[in-house]
Amino acid sequence: MIRAVISFQVKPGCEEAFEAAFNDAGMFTRPAQLDGFVSMELMRSDDDPTGYLVVSNWKSHEVYKKWKSISSREAPREALVRLGETLIDPQPGKTYAIVPPQ
């Protein structure tokens, strides 16, 4: 299993618009259509209300790569435009292998 982490910095005052566009783009629902998707959470920082993280769990790197290849392409275009308008310097996510306790 791998975990993907994406950090978002949202323009001040655009937090509600970001959350709505994230939802409208199907980012909560579309990953579940892939066999190998495990879970996903969108989190907002307690210290900085413009800071967000998406943490998702996948059965393999291959499944996550497939999601990355279709995540924007198959999303509603208007929602993606709105999402992009809320962000400061969007960056790609990073993946991490989960290390079991010894």
How is the chain split into domains, by residue range? 2-96
Tell me the residue length of the chain: 102
Q: Is 8 exposed, middle or buried (0-12, 13-18, 19+ CB in 10 A)?
A: buried
pTM, full prediction: 0.89
Residue ranges of the chain whose pLDDT lies below 70:
none
Tokens 């066999």 belong to residue? 35
pLDDT tens for each residue of 78-95: 999 999 999 999 888 899
Tokens 């999601």 belong to residue? 67
DSSP state of 86: T
Checking DSSP bridges between strand 37-44 and strand 2-10, what pairing results, if any? Answer: unpaired
What's the fold here for domain 2-96? Alpha-Beta Plaits (3.30.70)
